[in-house]
Amino acid sequence: MKTGKRIGIFGGSFNPPHMGHLGLLQEVYKKAGLSKIHVLPAAQSPLKAPLEGPTPEQRLEMTRLAISSGSSAVGEEFVVDDQEIRRGGKSYTIDTIKNLRKTVAAEDLYLIIGMDKLEELEEWKDLAGIITEANLIVTSRPGFSFPESPEELPKTLRSQVEEFDFNFIELKTGRNVQFIRLKDIEASASEIRKWIRTGKSVEKYIPLAVEGYIKKQGLYKPSKEKVGDYEAFTKFCAEFLMSKKSIAVRGFDLRMISAPAEFSLVTSGTSTRHASSLAENLMQAVKEEYNLYPQGLEGLDEGRWVVIDYGSLIVHVFYDFVRQEYSIEKLWQQAKDMGFKDTTK
């Protein structure tokens, strides 16, 4: 297995793949001296709730189009690997690593992740196995700083540090961690999805072949086709939240003011766990009633401030203490209060 070739692994949802992904691949390939990078679209991330959008097979095809979009962007050193899509279900990195280890030695295998993923690494399945069977390459991300001491690393990783340098760590497992600074990515996949749904041009951010595929397949359409009447949809969500003992449900009609959505709901739970539970239950109810997943979702794990984006309706579910701190309702003082009666008191 010791071929001397250094093989990278770069996974993600690629929803959609964009120029930031291609730029990362090029920089890491050169700076880490890799021979090839396997690009792996996930079937379903274990740490992310499902979002409205393309199927795993469509994300795979978009990734193939992005990688083959032109020799000036990428070359044969990048290969789209469909093993996680073929396996189906939740995609665990350790399973992919073990599969690649059948033909690649551990010292030649490099898992590429961003700094944002390093901070959630402790939640990954079999992290101890990952840092035994592969090295780590951690890339910079806007808003995140590289660790300056072992104490800033995830617990499992910290316990395996043999020698710590600012941009290179030797692990007791025989593997290493290296940090690579990249040029800041101009846009995220979530921003690009929102821009497509609102008709904003994205030609600077995604390869032309991917943009053509999105248009041909009708991907990232506004949720209005499934929702229909957003005012009725907002009322449905408000009544459901009140039935789950949500605190002080307030709805706002934002159509007469400048706002990123037409309607907004604000509510809170008695604890972070309660807030996360309310958000999860609401998403399940909307899926059953409207066959609709959110377009975007933030803060579900922490439960302090969960934002569920349904396009023309954005739902804010707070831990009540945090809600009082931010007083987000003040943003919509000029909007129409929809007058929902909170029956949970």
**Which pLDDT score is estimated for 343?**
59
**Which pLDDT score is estimated for 71?**
42
Residues with Cβ within 8 Å of 275's Cβ and at least 6 positions away in sequence, in order, are: 268, 269, 303, 304, 305, 306, 317, 318, 319
| Dihedral in degrees, nearest 10, Cα atoms 325, 331, 336, 342 | -10
**Which pLDDT score is estimated for 139?**
95
Q: What is the pLDDT of residues 23-56, one digit of tens each?
A: 999 999 999 999 999 999 999 988 788 888 999 9
Q: Name the stretches of the chain with pLDDT < 50.
A: 71-73
Q: Taking all residues of the chain, what is their mean pLDDT, rounded to a whole number?
A: 91
Domain boundaries, the chain: 7-196, 225-337
**Which pLDDT score is estimated for 73?**
46
**Which pLDDT score is estimated for 184?**
74
**Which pLDDT score is estimated for 294?**
94
3-state secondary structure of 74: coil
**Which pLDDT score is estimated for 183?**
84
Q: What is the pLDDT of residues 171-201, one digit of tens each?
A: 999 999 999 999 877 678 988 998 998 889 9
Residue with tokens 């780590």: 136
CATH class of domain segment(s) 7-196: alpha beta
Comparing 7-196 with 225-337, is the CATH topology the same? no
**Which pLDDT score is estimated for 190?**
87
Superfamily of domain 225-337: Beta Polymerase, domain 2 (3.30.460.10)
List phi, psi (to 5°) of 5.
Answer: -90, 130
